[in-house]
């Protein structure tokens, strides 16, 4: 069985280049994705439907893993997510929690400060109303 941290790193790398289909092969069919403070969805198709519109306006993404911890079936990540949009780079500190069932991610939770994101990305703020 692949190391859980390797699976998380591969998933993050695929998401950064908008290769959602590759990333989603690492998830269970009933996986739960919670993007706090935005909300939760269930299943790979719903995860893709959540990620695609967010990443659509990005020209380039660099999801930098700063620190990790693995405990049992859970991987914790501290990241600096960098998104290049038309006006420049947006940087967002993010904590991610990945809970596995076997060698697949069953729960993915992302924690970040929405105000930090919206201050740097006014177009996103406008689209959210």
The CA-atom distances, in angstroms, between 20 and each of 4, 11, 70, 102, 129 are: 19, 9, 24, 21, 26
Q: pLDDT per residue over 10-68, tens digit each?
A: 999 999 999 999 999 999 999 999 998 778 999 999 999 999 998 999 999 999 999 99
The CA-atom distances, in angstroms, between 18 and each of 63, 83, 102, 116, 126 are: 12, 12, 25, 22, 23
Q: CA dihedral in degrees (116, 52, 105, 68; nearest 10)? A: -30
pLDDT in the model for residue 2: 64
Residue 128 above 70 pLDDT?
no
pLDDT in the model for residue 129: 60
CATH code for residues 4-122? 3.10.450.50
How many whole angstroms separate alpha carbon 83 and alpha carbon 38? Answer: 18
pTM: 0.92
* Tokens matching residue 23: 């990333």
H-helix or E-strand containing 77? strand 74-85
How many whole angstroms separate alpha carbon 29 and alpha carbon 33? Answer: 12
Domain ranges for the chain: 4-122
Q: pLDDT per residue over 59-74, tens digit each?
A: 999 999 999 999 999 9
Residue 30: other Cβ atoms inside 10 A: 11
Query: From the DSSP assignment, how many helices (H) and strands (E) are in the chain?
Result: 5, 6
């Amino acid at each position: 069985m692949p190391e859980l941290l390797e699976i998380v790193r591969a998933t993050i790398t695929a998401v950064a280049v908008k290769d959602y289909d590759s990333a989603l092969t690492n998830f269970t069919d009933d996986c739960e994705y919670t993007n706090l403070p935005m909300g939760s969805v269930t299943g790979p198709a719903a995860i893709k439907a959540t990620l695609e519109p967010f990443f659509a306006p990005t020209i380039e993404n660099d999801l930098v893993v700063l620190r990790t911890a693995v405990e049992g079936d859970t991987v914790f990540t501290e990241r600096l997510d960098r998104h290049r949009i038309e006006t420049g780079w947006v940087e967002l500190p993010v904590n991610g929690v990945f809970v596995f069932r076997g060698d697949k991610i069953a729960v993915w939770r992302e924690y970040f400060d929405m105000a930090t994101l919206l201050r740097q990305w006014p177009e996103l703020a406008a689209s959210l109303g």
